[in-house]
Amino acid sequence: MAKKVEVLIKLQIRGGAANPSPPVGPALGAKGVNIMEFCKQFNARTQEQPGKVLPVIITVYGDKSFDFVIKTPPAAVQVLEASKQKKGSAEPNRVKVGSVTWDQVKEIAEIKMPDLNCFTIESAMKMVAGTARSMGINVKGDAPFDN
């Protein structure tokens, strides 16, 4: 029989650097989960991305056991990194604050594919390009696919 889910906890933690301080400590500790065990597992599984802020969804069960899924860094963060901008435009329709190339969009789309509801790389690229535009960041050149 499937275990009873007590709570889902959504955190964003730096790769390889989970520790029992907040938010990990209070979020998991309050549920009676062994925080140290979560930290050891998370750090081992994210050690190839040290320092990168990674979304993680932790499922805590009624028996105090847990599972977690590590997601890819948010598309918005990756678009910003790619465009070398630190924040999106306050008026994305009028004020463009930077640009990315379609190659960069494809690179981000490939990283994000496991977390997106997309069946093709083209549809993932369209979603990433849409995120960029909504932040006031242009995608330079013609799309490498038919719209």
Q: Which residues bind other proteins (CB under 8 A)?
A: 9-14, 16-37, 39-40, 43-45, 47, 50, 53, 64, 74-77, 80-81, 86-88, 90, 131, 134-135
User: Are the beta carbons of 59 and 68 closer than 8 angstroms?
Assistant: yes
Task: Considering the complex, state which of residue 5 and residue 30 has its C-beta at the smaller distance from other proteins.
Answer: 30
Measured from the CB of residue 143, what is the shortest distance to other proteins in angstroms? 20
Show the tokens assigned to 100. 């990315």
> Comparing C-alpha atoms, which of 3, 6, 12 is closest to residue 30?
6
Measured from the CB of residue 118, what is the shortest distance to other proteins in angstroms? 17
> Comparing C-alpha atoms, which of 68, 135, 80, 72 is closest to residue 104?
80
Task: Considering the complex, state which of residue 62 and residue 144 has its C-beta at the smaller distance from other proteins.
Answer: 62
Measured from the CB of residue 102, what is the shortest distance to other proteins in angstroms? 20
Residue 6 has a CB neighbour count (10 Å cut-off) of 17
Show the tokens assigned to 55. 């979304």
Report which DSSP code applies to 10.
E
Task: Considering the complex, state which of residue 41 and residue 101 has its C-beta at the smaller distance from other proteins.
Answer: 41
Task: Considering the complex, state which of residue 43 and residue 146 has its C-beta at the smaller distance from other proteins.
Answer: 43
Count CA atoms closer than 13 A to 64's CA, side-chain side.
Answer: 8
Measured from the CB of residue 146, what is the shortest distance to other proteins in angstroms? 26
